[in-house]
Amino acid sequence: MARKEIPPSVMRSLLVNAGGRCEFEGCNKLLTVDRLTTKAQNSAVIAHVVAASESGPRGESKLTDEERSSIDNLMLLCYECHRRIDNEQKDIHTVKKLLAMKESHEKRIKRATSIDKSLTTHLLLFSTPIQKRPCHISVEEAKNTVLISSRYPQEDIFEIKGNELGCDEDNSKFMERVNDLTCKKLGTLINNQESITGQSVTSLSVLALGTIPALLNLGYLLGDLTNVDIYQKKRDGSWIWDAETVGVSPHEYFKLEYPSAYEEEVAVNISLSGIITTEKMYTAISKEIPACYIKIEDSHFNFLHTKSQFEHFERSWNLLLSETRKQKIKKIHLFCAIPCSLAVMIGRSIHKKIDPKILIYDLCSSGDDYEWKWTINERS
């Protein structure tokens, strides 16, 4: 029996659905332009998931001839990936696996092409070593994250990498180098709200991993820039907030505790990812002073999952900050065991004209005690 011909309308629809790119996972090659000459060229191959005949790759199926040639059973591939699934690696590329690739790719293309221009965003990727281990944030991972969040990433990206520092957090100059590099890389953003190419930044998407002092300092330098979305990397590697759980309210999740009386200096202890004891806090400060606390019932590393949790913490922190303003506090000693996203948010909330000097403490190299690492909002 002759192989059923694929209608031109189906071929065009497939090309559009795939965005003119290879649908094989990890390839994404543009199939409408020659890579070397940059001239227009159609190098696409239309591949069958279930073969056009029963004798072909993955051909054993109850699908009719019409169904085998339908768009639901077709993939747009480059020549190399077509050979991969039909020849060299046909045994490992099952129908289920290929359909999953097709669905994922076409959903991504649909998201990217349906986003309104007003929803474009600039990426800010920030990382420093943590406990002497390097951190890395993939640009592709970041782009996919904001696409899933219905944002369209601009091509000019702000990127601060820990390997550019030349040292880890044990170095006495670590925070000075972090601050200098951050100011240098974000100068156009901080001063003019422009990208490195002079483009106006109307939205910023921040993905950050690093030490607490470095993240607080990043947030402080960003200040009150509008339309800033801060993402949190979870234990499963995803940066996407979980769906809200029906019937679960975060409004009583964070507990605030205030001292009965105040002095000019106050300690602020935020124990969420772990517990910072009062004893360790006062040992680092070298004296006992009034202390404010933000706590949760069960402090643990992986507590932050949803956007509503993030927003409720933001409200809780701002209540505490308002209290220090009301009490005319002149110096805050800040101790944090918190996720990275919350550290950036705290830094952004500091008002440069009305808030006090903030001394930031973090674990020393031994990992047992806390020590002063950096100061923000130190006005001359």
Query: What distance in Å separates the CA atoms of residue 25 and residue 78, rounded to the nearest whole number?
Result: 12
In a domain, 237, yes or no: no
DSSP structure string for 256-283: EE--SS--SEEEEEEESSS---HHHHHH
Specify whether 136 is located in the same domain as 94. Answer: no
Q: Which of 220, 146, 131 is nearest to 183 (CA)?
A: 220
What's the DSSP call for residue 86?
Answer: I
Q: What is the model's pLDDT at position 51?
A: 92
Instruction: Say if strands 152-153 and 228-231 run parallel, antiparallel, or are unpaired.
Output: unpaired
Q: Which residues contact 242 (CB under 8 A, 6 or more apart)?
A: 305, 306
Per-residue pLDDT of the chain (380 residues; tens, 9 = 90+): 456 788 888 888 999 999 999 999 989 988 988 777 777 878 889 999 999 888 888 988 889 888 888 999 999 999 999 999 998 888 889 999 999 999 999 988 887 776 666 688 999 999 999 988 889 999 999 998 998 887 889 889 999 999 999 998 889 999 999 999 999 999 999 999 999 889 899 999 999 999 999 999 999 999 988 789 999 999 888 999 988 765 555 556 899 999 999 999 999 999 999 999 999 999 999 999 999 999 998 888 888 989 999 999 999 999 999 999 999 999 999 999 999 999 999 999 999 999 999 999 999 877 789 999 999 999 75
Q: What is the model's pLDDT at position 324?
A: 96
In a domain, 338, yes or no: yes
In a domain, 246, yes or no: no
Specify whether 125 is located in the same domain as 147. Answer: yes
Specify whether 278 is located in the same domain as 369. Answer: yes
Q: What is the pTM (predicted TM-score) of this model?
A: 0.73
CATH number for the domain that contains residue 298: 3.40.50
In angstroms, how far apart are the furthest CA atoms of the chain? 91
Q: What is the model's pLDDT at position 1?
A: 47
Domain count, the chain: 3
How far is residue 305 from each of residues 77, 138, 242, measured CA to CA in Å?
A: 37, 21, 6
DSSP structure string for 314-360: HHHHHHHHHHHHHTT--EEEEEEE--HHHHHHHHHH--TTTS-EEEE
Specify whether 49 is located in the same domain as 142. Answer: no
Within 167-287, where are the H helices?
Answer: 174-185, 187-192, 212-222, 278-285
The answer to whether the beta carbons of residues 157 and 122 sit under 8 Å apart is yes
Q: Look up residue 63 and give its two tokens.
A: 């699908």
Q: What is the model's pLDDT at position 371?
A: 96
Task: Select from 114, 135, 152 the last residue of a domain.
Answer: 114
Query: What distance in Å separates the CA atoms of residue 293 and residue 316, rounded to the nearest whole number?
Result: 10
In a domain, 297, yes or no: yes
Specify whether 100 is located in the same domain as 126. Answer: no
In a domain, 244, yes or no: no
Query: What distance in Å separates the CA atoms of residue 179 and residue 21, rounded to the nearest whole number?
Result: 41
In a domain, 1, yes or no: no
Domain extent for 208? 118-231
The answer to whether the beta carbons of residues 40 and 33 sit under 8 Å apart is yes
What's the DSSP call for residue 99?
Answer: H
Query: What distance in Å separates the CA atoms of residue 75 and residue 39, rounded to the nearest whole number?
Result: 24
In a domain, 247, yes or no: no
Q: Which residues contact 259 (CB under 8 A, 6 or more apart)?
A: 266, 290, 291, 292
Q: Which of 176, 209, 162, 221 is nearest to 374 (CA)?
A: 176
Q: What is the model's pLDDT at position 284?
A: 97
